[in-house]
Amino acid sequence: MAGKGVITPQKDRSDLIVRLQEAQQRYGYVPEEVIRALADSLNIPVHEVYGVASFYSFLSTRPLGRNVIRVCKSLPCYLKSAEMIMEAVQKELGIGLGETTPDGRFTFQLTNCIGLCDHAPAMLINQDTHVDLTPEKIKQILKSYQ
């Protein structure tokens, strides 16, 4: 018989992502304890919560810096020399891709298209947008994040 796949009918199961987002906001990542506690409270297996948390790019199961820099690497930004922006960020912070500064202030990541292609190159720091970037602007922008 053509089934509907496996669906848990309870509606509160849909809170899972919202609560993972809350944890990400509050702790800067989704700690293992939160994953286990959510599994407990929603009465679903740990692997299901971890499976959701590990699927989405804006959730991290590892601690990140207080400020997460996401420089767009998709084509419209690439055409506008996004790689110079990446270099400028790394030089300014002295860290490589995916790394966090020793003081925990910044984590440097790349991201796929963030929909700011008309103002490329662009990046997100936390949830703020920064557009029409030049390597010269980077220092000043980073200064405003503590």
Partner 1 sequence: MPQKRVVLKNCEVIDPKRIDSHLESGGFKALSKARGEMTPEQITNEVKASGLRGRGGAGFPCGIKWDGARTAPGANKYVICNADEGEVGTFKDRYILEKDPFTLIEGILIAGQAIGAKQGYIYLRAEYHYLLDHLQSAIDQAKQKGFLNGFSLEIREGVGAYICGEESALMDSIEGKRGEARYRPPFPTTSGLWGQPTIINNVETLMNIPPIILNGADWFSQMGTERSKGTKVFSVSGDVARPGVYEIVLGSPLRELVEELAMAKDVKMVQIGGATGRILPYDKLDTPLAFEAVLGAGAVTVYNESRDVIDIVHRTMEFLAEESCGKCTPCRQGTEVMAEVLDKFHKGEGSLKELQNLEALSSAMMLSSLCGLGQAAPNAVMDSLQYFRNDYESRVAK
Partner 2 sequence: MENKINLTINGKEVTGRPGMTILEVARDNGIDIPTLCYIQDLPPIGACRLCVVEVEGSRTLVGSCHTPVAEGMAIQTHSPKVIATRKVLVELMLASHPDACLICDKANICELRRIAADLEIGLPRFRTRKHYFPVEDENTDMVRDMSKCVQCRRCVIACKSKGDEPLFGMAYRGFDSKVIHGYDQPLGSEACEDCDACIDICPSGALRKPRRAGEERAAKALIIKG
Binding positions for partner 1, rule: CB under 8 A:
2, 4-5, 7, 9, 11, 13-18, 20-21, 51-52, 55-59, 74-76, 78-79, 111-120, 124, 127-129
Tokens 């200064």: give the residue.
143
Phi, psi angle pair for 119, to nearest 5°: -130, 40
5 or 9: CB nearest partner 2: 5
For partner 2, the binding residue among 11, 55, 102, 136 (CB under 8 A) is: 55
Bond prior to 121 in cis (omega within 30° of 0): yes
Q: How many residues bind partner 2 (CB under 8 A)?
A: 18
Is residue 54 at the binding interface for partner 2, with CB under 8 A as the rule?
yes
Task: Give least dist CB 26 to partner 2, A.
Answer: 20
Longest CA–CA span in the chain (Å) reads 62
Please check whether residue 23 is in contact with residue 32, taking contact to mean a CB–CB distance below 8 angstroms.
Answer: no
17 or 37: CB nearest partner 1: 17
Look at the alpha carbons of 31, 36, 39, 45 in this order and tell me if their dihedral is positive or negative: positive
Is residue 40 at the binding interface for partner 2, with CB under 8 A as the rule?
no
For partner 2, the binding residue among 12, 14, 25, 47 (CB under 8 A) is: 47
55's tokens: 């699927």
CA distance 137 to 141: 6
Task: Give least dist CB 24 to partner 1, A.
Answer: 8
Task: Give least dist CB 138 to partner 1, A.
Answer: 20
CA distance 104 to 137: 22
Say if strands 123-125 and 106-111 run parallel, antiparallel, or are unpaired.
unpaired
Residues forming contacts to partner 2 in the complex (CB under 8 A) are 1-6, 32, 35-36, 45-48, 50-51, 54-56
